């Protein structure tokens, strides 16, 4: 295997090594569900990215990505939020590593969440956003959705890889039943 990079400068593994590891070992991910909260802390809106996929067309998703070697969960969340939502998003990152839920993704459909590339374990966090997100990286757009719109089956059908289930978990946990 290739040398592991230190810090978050450069790749963790070469593309070849990453592909080999993905076939043999579950990967650790973090997922951030961007949220807007009212003055009392109640959930008011949920933010979603719009991405284009050659296989599936346009899809809605949350911020997600791998945890790198020697990176804390909080550091991984901060890195992925900035990468996808830009430096002016001003996330309020969780102070503890306790997630809303843990999602397992499998390369085989029908086993829960699906990711055709790999088996992964993802720690899912609602992340309050206080600034103005600007989609970057491979995201085409970022939109806020009211709680009423979050219940819309048409919106949920646009969501990728089980993210509609994560949205429902968030709504239920906040008392805004899905």
Q: For the segment 7-20, what is each residue's pLDDT rounded down to a tens digit?
A: 444 556 888 988 88
Residue 15 in domain: no
Residue 162 in domain: yes
| CATH code for the domain in which residue 167 is found | 3.90.79.10
Q: Centre a 10 Å sphere on the Cβ of residue 117 and count the other Cβ atoms it contains.
A: 12
Residue 96 in domain: yes
CA atoms within 13 A on the CB side of 92: 9
Note the residue count of the chain. 178
Q: For the segment 111-162, what is each residue's pLDDT rounded down to a tens digit?
A: 778 888 889 999 999 999 999 999 987 889 999 999 999 999 999 999 987 8
Q: Which helix (H) or strand (E) covers residue 15, if one does?
A: helix 15-22
For residue 85, report the phi and psi dihedrals to the nearest 5 degrees: -110, -5
- Comparing C-alpha atoms, which of 87, 88, 85, 3 is closest to residue 47? 85
Residue 32 in domain: yes
Q: Centre a 10 Å sphere on the Cβ of residue 158 and count the other Cβ atoms it contains.
A: 17
Residue 23 in domain: no
Beta pairing partners, 122: 29, 103
Residue 144 in domain: yes
Secondary structure (3-state) at 79? helix
> Could you give the number of structural domains in the chain?
1
Mean of the per-residue pLDDT values for the chain? Answer: 88
> Any idea which residue has 């230190």 for tokens?
6
Residue 4 in domain: no
Q: For the segment 44-64, what is each residue's pLDDT rounded down to a tens digit?
A: 999 999 998 877 789 999 999
For residue 18, report the phi and psi dihedrals to the nearest 5 degrees: -60, -45
Residue numbers of the domain that contains 89:
28-173
Q: How confident is the model at residue 3 (pLDDT cuts 50, 70, 90)?
A: very low
What is the pLDDT at residue 74?
A: 96
What is the pLDDT at residue 134?
A: 95
Secondary structure (3-state) at 34? strand
Residue 69 in domain: yes
């Amino acid at each position: 295997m290739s040398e592991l990079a230190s810090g978050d400068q450069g790749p963790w593994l070469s593309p070849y090594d990453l592909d080999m590891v993905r076939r043999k070992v579950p990967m650790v991910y973090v997922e951030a569900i961007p949220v807007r909260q009212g003055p009392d802390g109640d959930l008011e809106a949920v933010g979603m990215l719009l991405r284009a996929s050659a296989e599936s067309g346009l899809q809605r998703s949350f911020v997600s990505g791998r945890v790198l070697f020697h990176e804390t969960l909080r550091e991984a969340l901060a890195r992925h939020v900035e990468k996808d939502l830009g430096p002016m998003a001003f996330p309020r990152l969780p102070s503890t590593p306790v997630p809303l839920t843990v999602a397992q993704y499998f390369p085989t459909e029908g086993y829960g969440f699906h990711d055709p590339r790999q088996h992964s374990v993802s720690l899912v966090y609602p992340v309050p956003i206080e600034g103005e997100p600007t989609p970057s990286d491979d995201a085409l757009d970022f939109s806020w959705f009211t709680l009423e719109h979050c219940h819309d089956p048409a919106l949920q059908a646009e969501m990728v890889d089980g993210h509609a289930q994560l949205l429902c978990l968030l709504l239920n946990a906040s008392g805004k039943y899905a």
